[in-house]
């Protein structure tokens, strides 16, 4: 998947526990994104980053935090997981912020998280 690695690919955890998902890219792209995918909702943006230590909220950021200490790594943390955060999480990258035909949004393979 175009130099994007997500880990773990599958995780089952219990309500109230912290969870961190990792996205690693080898494309040296400036922009990185975390989406969640749920049936009937398509993809919804959680947080995105436009550079090292530069992040911003998306439309469903409550309950999530992110960090980017290196260009290649973007971490998504659920401080205290809830059952409503059961979802498939996708990391995506782009060279520029303005998504277009020349600046494609490229996705990782996803991380399936189940919160019991």
Is residue 70 part of the contact set for other proteins (CB under 8 A)? no
Stretch in the footprint of other proteins (CB under 8 A) among 20-28, 65-73, 77-85, 104-112: 104-112
Is residue 1 part of the contact set for other proteins (CB under 8 A)? yes
Is residue 109 part of the contact set for other proteins (CB under 8 A)? yes
Dump the DSSP string for the chain.
-TTEEEE-SEEEE-TT--EEEEEEESS--SEEEEEEEETTTEEEEEEEEEETTEEEE-TT-TTEEEEEEETTEEEEEESS--GGG-EEEEEEEESSSS--SSS--EE---EEEEE-
> Which residues within the stretch 5-34 sit at the binding site for other proteins (CB under 8 A)?
none
* Binding site residues, other proteins, CB under 8 A: 1, 4, 40-45, 48, 58, 90, 92, 97-101, 104-110
């Amino acid at each position: 998947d175009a130099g994007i690695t997500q880990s773990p690919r599958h995780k089952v955890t219990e309500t109230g526990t912290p969870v961190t998902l990792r996205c690693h890219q080898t494309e040296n792209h400036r922009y990185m994104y975390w989406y969640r995918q749920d049936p009937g909702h398509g993809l919804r943006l959680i947080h995105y980053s436009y550079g090292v230590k530069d992040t911003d909220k998306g439309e469903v950021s409550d309950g999530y935090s992110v960090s980017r200490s290196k260009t290649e790594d973007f971490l998504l943390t659920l401080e205290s997981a809830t059952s409503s955060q059961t979802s498939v999480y996708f990391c995506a990258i782009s060279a520029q912020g303005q998504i277009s035909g020349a600046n494609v949004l490229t996705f990782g393979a996803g991380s399936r998280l189940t919160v019991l």
